[in-house]
Amino acid sequence: MASSNPYDHRSHDYRLLVKRWKAFCKDAKLKLQPFACSAEEHIYFIETARELAAQGEPWIYISAGVHGDESAPPWGLLEWAEAHVDLLRRHPFLIFPVLNPTGLILNTRADYAGMDLNRNFNHPSEPVVASWRKVIKGRKLAIGLCLHEDYDGQGCYLYELNGSKHILGERILADTSVLIPKDCRKRIDGRAAKAGLIRRKVIPEMTGQPEAIVLHLHGAPITLTFESPSEFCIVERIAVQKRFIESSLKHALGLT
């Protein structure tokens, strides 16, 4: 019996994903702009409502696909965008649909050079990172959302880097747990966690800095890194990634 899951055997199809983004951008009157290459594949970004950013409204940053073996985030980001065209027109968004296309195609964590991109965002000598830094340079950021997955995950969890006293993660995880439960381990990736939330007020010392930390150093007051469990159903994982974006924008910025 054939599967009814539209993502069976296609979740790592980067060219299909780009085709979908191009169709979306055409309909929404947006531009899918190449800024770097990964082997033979272009890497793209999208910016919306530039005129509002020029008037001082900060950018809302969202990225997916840093690790190629985490296939739900790029599709969840696409489905969120398709469902929120009006929101994209009303606020400046800076979107990176897939930062590691070769990894997505090969189903590997590493990029085309065998490197973990998310441990090298503080190394501007890396070509993709250097190009990425040029794109974000000079932009004031309201928030950074980084979409990930974890093959060891027993549910969804969230890294919150936030200097304020107002905790966002608990409310966000309450929203996402309707679709996939929280990962309730007391330690996740060697870090203390509470009901799926790993919260930091200060930047941890790391030799190789991930995207979220570099965004925070760039000026994003809040960065949220969401992890869905990659061994769960792909359809549920895509849905929960979409829900995470919706919930984060609602609780952090009051956007619906």
| Catalytic residue set | 227
The span from the CA of 42 to the CA of 45, in Å, is 10
> Which residue bears the tokens 């606020």?
91
| Total Cβ atoms within 10 A of residue 72 | 27
Question: If you count them, how many residues does the chain have?
Answer: 256
String of b and e for 218-250 (b: at least 16 CB within 10 Å)? Answer: bebebbbbbbbbbebebbebbbbbbbbbbbbbe
The span from the CA of 211 to the CA of 223, in Å, is 9
Angle, vertex CA 149, rays to CA 146 and CA 154, nearest 5: 130
Q: Which residues have C-beta within 8 Å of that of residue 28, sequence separation ≥ 6?
A: 81, 85, 88, 89
